[in-house]
A = this chain, B = another copy of it.
Amino acid sequence: MPSAHTKPARGMRDFLPEDVRRREYVIGVIADVYRRYAFEPLETPAVENIETLTGKYGEEGDRLIFKILKRGEEGRATGEADLALRYDLTVPLARVAAEYRATLPRVFKRYQVQPVWRADRPQKGRFREFYQCDVDVIGSKSLVVEAELCAAVSDVLERLGFGDFEIHLNHRQLLTALLSGAGVPPDQHGTALVAIDKLDKIGRDGVLAELQARGIDHEAASRVFNWLTAGSSPDWLDRLNEFFSTGGNALGSAAIAELTEIVRLSQGTSAARYLRIEPALARGLSYYTGAIMEVRVKDLAGSLGGGGRYDGLVGMFSGEQVPACGFSLGLERILVVMSERQMFPTSVSGVAADVLVTQWNREEAVESLAIARDLRHAGLRVDVYPEPDKIGKQIKYASTRGIPRVVVAGDDERARGEVTVKDMASGTQRSVPRLELVDALRAEPEGSKLNG
């Protein structure tokens, strides 16, 4: 009887067949698009040496790492942990980049879709085991990388059926330059960005209040805000550029030049219609050094994914500066929005089979299995009713399971070299010569559509 001890662990999920099909469909599209961009797949172990992970995610992150007890008496006695569960896909990428430097290409384009584990307090939409879908280019400073990432993400979302997203684009140096230009001292930039990052959640007044609470001068904050909310005016970027030029703020000008170049490079790509420079985009993580991106859709607070350039991070193990730029799609959020909008194709259904082959009697089971073999070799998904039973009961089973077609090979039909095919939607049935069965069922659109 179902009871607490058969539930998955707290914050973890079982994925029943329909869940898995939906997840595999989305992951399949993501992987297929990334492969077309010549990204290569990488997989790293779920378990890392604990010293590989600790100290990489800040104090809060360290607390959220699942730690694995040392084996044997020693672990039990001391509570010492020597291993830990993967917390993200970026630190393993950095480790791999250092370990296999001699064999990996100079510019390594990899995608990685694997679960990560965080001992966060579970809440709606936040789990302790969840998938990250990361795509990164390491080893190149070219802005073509940023353009290609935006294009790939656009292709993924278009293929999944999203047509209404925006890719917000900004630059960490532009934000820094803005803050400096407005009179916010450098040691307050970090805390100011954390507040600015909340603009879409708490609004202008909320952010201004939080900036004040964080000790930022009110007038400086107002000046910053005039620029952050200028994005709707068509010539704001020119005016901002002038502001940087007159202030001698070379970093700011360089950032604008990079953003303009990314937009120019994207002209002929799938990203062209979705890209928008958005000065208020800040991104929470501290490690970004250049362009930053985030994908937004209207009916979701928060983003479907985000990324940016982070030239300081991947070299953490090698001790070398390794330029890097990446994007992470939020698989769980994409699934939520696609479910709410009913965006899954009919082929990604809860139906496990295209055809049910019935069993007339024990003797005839050999022929049922042979029919199933032929249909399966033709690519159809075929269920065989496991034991001889009343045909009515077997047809009811097909109905319950949503199987659209039932094949009955009774003694009379067998004698005539025929089988009966029943269409469950229309209720009609017809006789088909046994030797033409594969072609008859293959030609039917439901059968071929459902063939997963």
The interface of chain A, by Cβ under 8 A from chain B, is 1-3, 5-9, 12-17, 19-21, 23-24, 33, 35-49, 51-52, 63, 66-69, 71-72, 75-81, 83, 85, 95-96, 98-105, 107, 109-110, 115, 117, 119, 128-129, 137, 140, 142, 144-145, 147-148, 151, 155, 264-270, 317-319, 352-353, 359, 365-367, 369-370, 372-373, 376-377, 379-384, 386-387, 400-401, 452
Contacts and interface: CB of A to CB of B under 8 A. Distances in A.
Chain B CB count within 10 A is highest, among A72, A99, A103, A265, for A99
Contact of A45 (B1, B12, B107, B359): B12
Contacts of A46: 46, 85, 115, 117, 129
Identical copies in the complex: 2
Contacts of A366: 264-265, 267-268
Given A14-B43, A81-B69, A83-B66, A6 B317 contact: yes
Contacts of A140: 386-387
Given A37-B382, A41-B24, A144 B369 contact: yes
A326 to B, nearest CB: 14
A44 B15 CA distance: 6
Contact of A43 (B20, B33, B39, B51): B20
7 contacts: A8-B45, A9-B48, A36-B381, A38-B353, A69-B69, A144-B359, A268-B366
Nearest to A356: B38
A387 to B, nearest CB: 4
Interface SS of chain A: mixed
B268 A370 contact: yes
Nearest to A75: B79
A260 to B, nearest CB: 13
Most chain B Cβ neighbours within 10 Å, of A19, A382, A386 = A386
A6 B95 contact: yes
A20 B41 contact: yes
A51 B9 CA distance: 10
B71 A68 contact: no
A401 B108 CA distance: 11
What are the 5 closest A-B residue pairs judged by CB atoms, nearest first? A79-B79, A268-B370, A17-B40, A38-B383, A12-B45
B49 A9 contact: yes
A155 B317 contact: no
Contacts of A8: 44-45, 48, 95, 99
Contact of A49 (B5, B137, B452): B5
Given A68-B67, A266-B369, A14 B100 contact: yes
Nearest to A24: B41
A267 B49 CA distance: 52
Contacts of A367: 268
A296 to B, nearest CB: 23
A23 B99 CA distance: 21
Contacts of A75: 67, 79
A98 B6 contact: yes
Contacts of A15: 41-44
A323 B295 CA distance: 49
Most buried by B among A39, A41, A71, A151: A41
Given A16-B42, A78-B79, A105 B401 contact: yes
A82 to B, nearest CB: 8
Contacts of A115: 46
